[in-house]
Structure 1
Amino acid sequence: MSVLSACAVGERINTAVTGHTTQCIDGVEYVQFASGASVAYSPDGKVKTCRN
């Protein structure tokens, strides 16, 4: 459980410093902000994909 807690704390710190973090969930990239999350889009307007 401490590993999960440490990851969550690290994500919150990174979000506070950079304004956002990205995460790959089921092949889709998400952008996490302090106030919520959104799907990431490529410059051509398509949903960004990723590999876990």
Structure 2
Amino acid sequence: GGSGLGLAIVKHIIEAHNEKIFVESEQKVGSEFSFSLPIATPQQLEVKA
């Protein structure tokens, strides 16, 4: 167990991308967190020299 700070940071990042984080929890087994984020294709990336 930790302080939960990592989860708070991840939640903030996910929500900043207008996405959601999900959790499935089972007593005495543990919890599973999942999320999705949009990715940029190479054509969408802007490269500055």
| TM-score using structure 1 length | 0.33
Larger relative strand fraction: 1
Larger Rg: 2
